C-alpha cells in the first residue's frame, strides 16, 4: 500500500539561510556534531516580534550559526521571545546565551524546566554515580561501568547556564500575525515535550515527537531506569493516528511533511516489532543483551547512552503488559518470561 506520507516540496535551508513557510512562520537549520547531524529551528512572527523555537547546543559551532539568522530576522522585526520545546541539549543548550544576545524571555513548560534544572545541578561526581549505577543495573561490564561513572555530567558540556524563564501552561495560545498556535504537552521522548498546533490552517509543529524518517529516541532516564516511558509515547501515537494526513507536520529533524497520522501508525508498528523481537529472543535478558539484539552494530559511548535507555524502555513496557517479569540479581536487572 502506498504511504500517505509525502515531503513538503521545499529543500532544507542552507546554512545561514531562512525559508519563509507562511506569513508567520520561518524555518532554518543548524548543524550538530552527532550522528543526527542537524536540527530544524523555527520562528513565529507576532505583532511584537519573532518567537524563536529552540536554540541548538551550547557550542562554538552553534554560536557562529546564530548571527546571520538573527541579522536576517531582526531586519524584519525584533526578537520578542524564545520558546524551548523540551530539555534535550540540542533544543535547550544555547538558551541562556541566546537570551543574553537578544534580551528576549525564555518560555518553557514546567516539567521540562524542572528536568533541565535537576540534571544541570548535578555535580560530576553525582552524575557519574547515577550513571554508573544505572549501567551496572543494565548489565554492562566493569570497564564500561567505570568509564560511565567517570564521565561526569555530560549534559553540562552541551548546555549553558539557564536563565530565568516564563512557564507556559497547557492550552496556552501564541497569537501570530496570521494564526493562533495552541500549546500541548506530551510524554515519551521527554516528559513534557511542547508542540504547537494551528488547527485552522492544519499546521503542527511537532518537534521531536513525530519525525518523518527516524523513530524519536524513547529512553528511560538513568535516574529512573524502571519507568515505562514507552507507554506514554505509545499513548501519544495512538492519539496522533487520527491526525489528518493533509496537515503539515514540522519536525525537529529531517524535513516537513504531510501524513502525520500515517507516520504515527508506522511508529506504533515499529515499536511493536521491537517489543516482539525481544520476546522472540526467548531468553532471560539483561538490558545490555537487549541492546545487542535491537542495535546490532557498533555504537560509540554517546550512542550507547541512548541505545541503553531505549532498550530498557522496551523491556520495562513488556513488564507493564505482563509479557516479561523483572528481577534483580547482584544489582543487575534480569527480564524473563513469566
Give the tens place of pLDDT for each residue, 63-121: 999 999 999 999 999 999 999 999 999 999 999 999 999 999 999 999 999 999 999 99
Q: Are 183 and 173 in contact (CB under 8 A)?
A: yes
Residue 1 has pLDDT above 80, yes or no: no
Q: How many CB atoms lie within 10 A of CB 320?
A: 12
Judge whether 335 and 315 are in contact, CB under 8 Å. yes
Residue 216, pLDDT > 50, answer yes
Q: What residues pair up with 335 in beta bridges, in sequence order?
A: 285, 326
Q: What pLDDT does residue 87 have? A: 98
CB 321 within 8 A of CB 314: no
State residue 15's pLDDT score: 84
Q: Which domains does the chain have, with CATH numbers?
A: 6-259 (3.60.15.10)
Kindly report the average pLDDT of the chain as a whole number.
Answer: 96
Q: Are 326 and 278 in contact (CB under 8 A)?
A: no
Rg (CA), the chain: 20
Query: What is the reported pLDDT for 298?
Result: 87
Global pTM reads 0.95
Rounded (10°) CA dihedral 243, 249, 255, 261: 0
Is the confidence at residue 3, as pLDDT, over 80? Answer: no
Q: What are phi and psi of 39, to 5 degrees?
A: -140, 140
Mean pLDDT, residues 233-251: 97
Residues 33 and 154: their CA atoms lie apart, in Å, by 14
Confidence (pLDDT) at 137: 98
Q: What is the pLDDT of residues 252-262, one digit of tens each?
A: 999 999 999 99
Burial annotation 141-157 (CB, 10 A radius, 16+ → b, else e)? eeebbebbbebbbbbbe
Instruction: Enter the C-alpha cell of residue 78.
Output: 525584533
Amino acid at each position: 500500500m502506498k504511504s500517505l506520507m509525502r515531503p513538503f516540496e521545499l529543500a532544507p535551508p542552507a546554512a545561514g539561510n531562512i525559508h519563509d513557510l507562511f506569513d508567520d512562520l520561518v524555518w532554518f537549520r543548524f548543524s550538530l556534531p552527532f550522528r543526527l547531524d542537524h536540527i530544524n529551528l523555527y520562528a513565529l512572527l507576532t505583532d511584537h516580534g519573532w518567537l524563536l523555537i529552540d536554540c541548538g547546543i551550547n557550542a562554538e559551532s552553534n554560536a557562529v550559526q546564530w548571527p546571520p539568522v538573527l541579522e536576517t530576522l531582526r531586519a524584519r522585526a525584533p526578537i520578542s521571545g524564545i520558546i524551548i520545546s523540551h530539555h534535550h541539549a540540542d533544543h535547550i543548550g544555547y538558551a541562556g546565551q541566546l537570551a543574553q544576545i537578544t534580551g528576549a524571555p525564555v518560555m518553557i513548560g514546567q516539567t521540562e524546566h524542572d528536568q533541565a534544572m535537576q540534571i544541570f545541578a548535578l555535580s560530576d561526581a553525582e552524575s557519574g554515580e547515577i550513571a554508573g549505577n544505572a549501567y551496572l543495573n543494565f548489565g554492562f561490564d566493569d570497564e564500561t561501568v567505570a568509564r560511565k561513572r567517570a564521565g561526569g555530567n555530560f549534559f553540562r558540556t552541551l548546555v549553558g547556564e539557564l536563565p530565568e524563564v516564563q512557564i507556559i501552561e497547557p492550552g496556552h495560545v501564541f497569537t501570530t500575525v496570521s494564526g493562533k498556535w495552541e500549546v500541548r504537552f506530551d510524554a515519551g521522548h521527554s516528559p513534557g515535550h511542547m508542540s504547537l498546533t494551528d488547527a485552522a490552517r492544519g499546521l503542527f509543529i511537532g518537534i521531536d515527537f513525530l519525525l518523518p524518517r527516524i523513530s524519536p529516541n524513547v529512553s528511560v532516564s538513568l535516574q529512573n531506569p524502571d519507568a515505562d516511558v514507552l507507554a506514554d509515547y505509545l499513548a501519544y501515537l495512538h492519539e496522533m493516528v487520527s491526525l489528518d494526513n493533509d496537515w503539515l507536520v514540522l519536525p525537529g529533524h529531517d524535513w516537513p511533511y504531510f501524513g502525520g497520522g500515517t507516520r504515527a501508525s508506522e511508529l506504533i508498528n515499529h515499536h511493536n516489532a521491537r517489543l516482539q523481537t525481544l520476546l522472540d529472543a526467548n531468553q532471560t535478558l539483561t538490558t545490555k543483551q537487549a541492546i545487542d539484539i535491537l542495535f546490532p552494530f557498533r555504537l560509540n559511548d554517546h550512542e550507547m547512552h541512548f541505545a541503553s535507555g531505549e532498550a530498557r524502555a522496551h523491556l520495562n513496557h513488556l513488564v507493564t503488559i505482563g509479557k516479561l517479569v523483572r528481577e534483580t540479581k547482584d544489582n543487575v536487572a534480569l527480564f524473563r518470561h513469566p
